Structure 1
Amino acid sequence: MGQRALPLPAPRLGRAVKTAGAQPAVSGVVLLLPDGEADSHRRPSSLSYALQLPLARTLARAGQDDGLAAHVVHYRCRGWNATDAQLAADAEWAVEEVVRRYGDVPVCLAGHGMGGRAALRAGGHPAVNSVLAMAPWLPEDPSVEQEPVKHLLGRQVLLVHGTNDARSDPELSFRLAQRAKKANRNTCRFEVHSDGHALRQHRAEVVALAVDFVRGSLFGRTYARPVADALAAPPPLGLRMPLAAGFGRSLRD
């Protein structure tokens, strides 16, 4: 007798990351979208979820006075799965759940790898005001239709990519950023020199960049000079901004 495949779970928003002293009222939400795979109907990876928790805690702690809530999204499965774009659909569901739970608050989608692609694809939702895509995975097959970008108009968009990423081609995210910049000038991209897909080598600087961007886009906080300059710069200057070891210090100036 053959075994039956277990049904996939429904997507879940995930428990809000709590920090001591956080405001009880929620004024903005960041949804962290874990990495995934191009094709897979397997259950989501618990490791990919766990890898987003440290950033979620850092963001929640940095935004506690602003009323920031941070959630790591649980997908139905770990695969994008071609035209099904399941991770993007789960990201859109999560935004709808934020609206249901918290009301009319601004949302930032922050994804890594395949989650970065999901963040970019779901960024057109009316509640989304900003998108942070870290090492976004994009299809290399020229026969696959290009990722849409016009729906990002009116959003703050930041891409961060390591130059030594062997899993997600950084050149593809550069080309997407070029196209997105034509539709939406509030788009910038930072290159993390010599870093790989996980962005571990300059982790502190990447996290500082993420914190600055999320607080600036959701709550109107003044961006640090590197982010402000990158968002204001015309293409292509604003798309290949270097991220160096001293960047974290400039964020705290």
Structure 2
Amino acid sequence: MAQHAPPERGARLGRAARANGSQVVSGVVLLLPGRSRFPPGAVRSLSRALARAGAEEGLVAHTVLEGSAHEAADEAVRRYGDVPVCLAGFGAGGLEALRGAGHSAVNSVLCVAPCLPEASPTDSPEPVKQLSGRQVLIVHGTNDARCDPELSFRLAARAKKANRATCRFEVHSDGHSLREHRTEVVALAMDFVLGSLFSGRYSRPVTDALAAPPPLGLRMPLASGFGRSLRG
């Protein structure tokens, strides 16, 4: 009797976060917490903040509960059609976001405190070619004892050579959860996501970081009160 492999389950997305349930969706953020200890409350708060900030543009946010970033992007396309997708990875999910950036629907990648592997001298470095043509932002606390911030700097330096639209912000004296500067991190994420998916415009700090040559644009300090300065 022939044996048939079970069908692939693909990605499972959490409930959509959106400010207006009847609005046409024009862009999707897929939040990837991964199997890390990044605080789930921080991921939820960013999801809600993004939905509110992108309400007029038709932004919807989903947390990826199961499946890879590539599978999640497939599911977003199946649900919403040909709309731009931002992969937002947290902790271990940051690596998944980077690896899934080659999906044709993905136009941007946000990595918050990414956990990256430290390659041995005999290992091949983490690939970055899939980031070409995407907007890329990495934000990392300088006191992160769980996921080495120096590894995200090295990856950003290699990514910058393949893709000029890469920048990285450092949150000085903050740890893995970025608890001390969460307001600024959320404001930075909103600025980047909305600019990447819709307007093509960013705040002056993000614009400067994208334009600056390495290492300046890869060690950009996240200023205290970043969100307040945007509202002002």
TM normalised by structure 2 equals 0.91
Q: How far apart are the structure 2 equivalents of 1:193 and 1:205?
A: 12
Confirm or deny that 1:159 pairs with 2:158: no
Amino acid at match of 1:12: R
| Deviation per residue, 1:63-94 (Å, 9 max, x gap) | 00000010000025xxxxxxxxxxxxx11100
Report if aligned partners of 2:34, 2:96 keep a CA contact under 8 Å in 1: no
Q: Could you say if the C-alpha distance between residues 49 and 203 of structure 1 is closer, same or farther in structure 2, counting changes exceeding 3 Å? A: closer
Q: How far apart are the structure 2 equivalents of 1:18 and 1:27?
A: 12
Structure 2 equivalent of residue 127 of structure 1: 105
Shift of 1:165: 0.2
1:231 corresponds to which of 192, 207, 210: 210
Any idea what SS the aligned residue of 2:56 has? helix
Q: How far apart are the structure 2 equivalents of 1:50 and 1:14?
A: 14
Report if aligned partners of 1:23, 1:67 keep a CA contact under 8 Å in 2: no
Shift of 1:49: 4.9
Q: Which runs of 5+ in 2 are unaligned?
A: 1-8
Map of 1:168-247 to 2, 5 A cutoff? 168-247=147-226
| Deviation per residue, 1:33-84 (Å, 9 max, x gap) | 00315xxxxxxx9x865542111000000000000010000025xxxxxxxx
Report if aligned partners of 2:18, 2:59 keep a CA contact under 8 Å in 1: no
Map of 1:54-73 to 2, 5 A cutoff? 54-73=45-64
Q: How far apart are the structure 2 equivalents of 1:130 and 1:153?
A: 10
Tell me the number of residue pairs that the alignment of Structure 1 and Structure 2 aligns. Answer: 224
Confirm or deny that 1:107 pairs with 2:85: yes
Q: How far apart are the structure 2 equivalents of 1:124 and 1:176?
A: 16
| RMSD of aligned Cα (Å) | 2.0
Report the identity percentage: 67
Any idea what SS the aligned residue of 1:217 has? helix
| Deviation per residue, 1:100-133 (Å, 9 max, x gap) | 1111000000010110111111011110000000
Q: Which runs of 5+ in 1 are unaligned?
A: 1-8, 38-44, 77-89
Report if aligned partners of 1:32, 1:71 keep a CA contact under 8 Å in 2: yes
Any idea what SS the aligned residue of 2:65 has? coil
TM normalised by structure 1 equals 0.83
Report if aligned partners of 2:157, 2:214 keep a CA contact under 8 Å in 1: yes
